[in-house]
Structure formats: structure tokens, C-alpha cells
Amino acid sequence: MLIIPHLIILIFLGIAFFILTIVAGFAILFTGKYPRGIFDFNLGVLRWGWRVSFYSYYALGTDKYPPFTLNSADYPAELDIAYPEHLSRVKVLFKWWLLAIPHYLILGAMLGSGATFAMGVGDDEQGYGGQVGFSLLTLLVLVGAIILLFKEHFPKSIFDFAMGINRWMYRVVAYAALMTDEYPPFRLDMGPAEPPAAPSPAPAGDLG
């Protein structure tokens, strides 16, 4: 209920993200560069979406309400993508659909409705009833939420697993959105922080 205002805004931001990614794709095809203004906007949309996900049922990582901003903010979860000075003009044609297929298959297994339970609503013979599906990530966070309800402590192992799935997902999103030529690694990177590329540690909940 609390994230409804964010979800409404993110619907429109998501549409803009999709359209601008197509525009950026043509720009990369002809110039080898991702227009900086579009990059910053799309990065802001991903940041906003990640904060809302971290607050809600993709991680249940904080009680701090997400800010309404595309910019970097003082928040327990943050996301950053280094701006690429040059991108392959050839890869832009096929990396988002062909090269990313192995990741789509794996993430589909983790984020799709692989586990289901039946909800009886009337008599199935009369056309009533149905099934509700939960992804692996949803099930993990749901179990953590139930434990949190009674123990006021989110199990660290469940949180780390959920964070690993989220990191994998956002790396693939950045790659498919043409924001990097670096191929996403096949790993979960579980834990409270992204393994830092530099000696300095990353903040908790960071997806950089």
C-alpha cells in the first residue's frame, strides 16, 4: 500500500525508459556513444526502481521510505553504473536479445512463477478456482517476512540470497538496456554489499 505512489510514477518512468533506450540504441549504432542525458535519466529510473524494490517485497531491506528522485540519495540501497565513453556499434544490434539469452533463462527460473500453490475458489468443474504463482525471490522474501513478523529479525541468509538475485537481475537489465558492454557475470554475489571493484567497501544494499 505504501509504495502505490511510487508504482504509479514508475509506470510512466518505465515507458520513458523503454522509449529512450531505443533512441539510445540508434545513437550508439551511428556514433558508438550512449547520449549522456539519456544515460543519466535511465540510470535514475533504475535507481528509483531499486530503492522501491529494496523497501518492498524484493528485499524488505529497510523501513526508510524511498525518496521521490532520480538522483543519487542518502538511502540504505543505492545503484550506480559507470558511464561508458564508448560502446560497440555492432553489439548494440544483438546483445540485448541474443547474448543475454542464457541470463534470461536463469533469471526466468528464479523470477518466474516456478512454484505455485492452488487457491480453491468454488467448484473447479464449474469453471471456478485457479492457481497463484510465486517466484523464488518472492518466496524467499515472504518466508523472511513471516519470520520478521514474529522475531523482528530478517534472517541474514535469506536476505543475502535475495540480494544476490537482485544484483544478478540489475546487471542483466543494465546490459540489456545497452548501458554497458561488460557481459554480466554468472554469479549471485550474496551478502549485504556488492563486492567492491576498488579497495574501498561498498555501502549496505549497494548494487553498483
DSSP string covering 109-173: HHHS--EEEEE--S-GGGT--EEEEE-HHHHHHHHHHHHHHHHS---HHHHHHHHHHHHHHHHHH
Confidence of residue 112 (pLDDT cuts 50, 70, 90): confident
pLDDT, position 192: 67
As a whole number of angstroms, the distance between CA 196 and CA 76 comes to 16
Q: Residue 200 burial by CB count (10 A; 0-12/13-18/19+): exposed, middle or buried?
A: exposed
| Confidence band for 193, pLDDT divided at 50, 70 and 90 | confident
Q: What is the spatial distance between Cα 208 and Cα 194, in angstroms, rounded to a whole number? A: 7
To the nearest whole number, what is the mean pLDDT of the chain? 87
- Please check whether residue 48 is in contact with residue 10, taking contact to mean a CB–CB distance below 8 angstroms: yes
Look at residue 189 in the predicted model and tell me its pLDDT: 86
Is pLDDT of 206 > 70? no
Task: Give backbone dihedrals phi and psi of 165, rounded to 5 degrees, phi first.
Answer: -65, -45
3-state secondary structure of 43: helix
Q: What is the pLDDT of residues 19-56, one digit of tens each?
A: 999 999 999 999 999 999 999 999 999 999 999 999 99
Residue 113 has pLDDT above 70, yes or no: no
pLDDT for res 141: 93
Angle among Cα 67, 70, 72 to the nearest 5 degrees reads 75
135-181 residue pLDDT tens: 899 899 999 999 999 988 889 999 999 999 999 999 999 999 999 99
The closest of 76, 71, 19, 72 to 53, measured between CA atoms, is: 76
